């Protein structure tokens, strides 16, 4: 039986060059509505839902489908953050990174 000696990685082994990748997804849900309609007029329920007049009965998250991904630089990432989250536009860049960026060292 052999034993391997475990050594701590050196600084150069733990430093990884990184880049920012914007991944765009579409989330899918199965929605249910329970709509009362006159007997024999079940298709009217479809109109009610299409016109967004039905009360939600339930929903189930199906998953996310990735539709695109691309490398972005830091400036573009901050600009997109400001566009998509305009309520945070006055935050510092470091605060935006903390809240919205998934950092390599946090998920590797």
pLDDT along the chain (108 residues), means of 10: 62 78 97 98 97 97 98 97 96 96 84
Q: Which residue range is the domain that position 48 belongs to?
A: 19-72
Q: Do 62 and 82 belong together in one domain?
A: no
Q: From the CA atom positions of the chain, what is the Rg in Å?
A: 24
Query: Hey, which residues does 72 pair with through a beta bridge?
Result: 20
* Residue-level pLDDT at 13: 56
Q: Do 85 and 55 belong together in one domain?
A: no
pTM of the predicted structure, to 2 decimals: 0.69
Q: Do 78 and 50 belong together in one domain?
A: no
Number of neighbouring beta carbons within 10 Å of residue 83: 9
* Residue-level pLDDT at 88: 95
Q: Do 105 and 77 belong together in one domain?
A: yes
Q: Is 54 exposed, middle or buried (0-12, 13-18, 19+ CB in 10 A)?
A: middle
* Residue-level pLDDT at 4: 63
* Residue-level pLDDT at 1: 56
């Amino acid at each position: 039986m052999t034993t391997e000696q475990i050594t701590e990685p050196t600084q150069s082994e733990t430093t990884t060059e990184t880049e920012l990748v914007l991944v765009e997804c579409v989330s899918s849900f199965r929605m249910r509505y329970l709509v009362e309609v006159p007997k024999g007029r079940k298709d009217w329920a479809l109109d009610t839902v299409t016109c967004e007049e039905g009360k939600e009965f339930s929903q189930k998250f199906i998953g996310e489908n990735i539709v695109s991904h691309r490398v972005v630089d830091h400036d573009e990432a901050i600009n997109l953050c400001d566009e998509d989250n305009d309520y945070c536009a006055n935050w510092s860049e470091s605060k935006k990174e903390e809240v919205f960026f998934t950092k390599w060292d946090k998920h590797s």
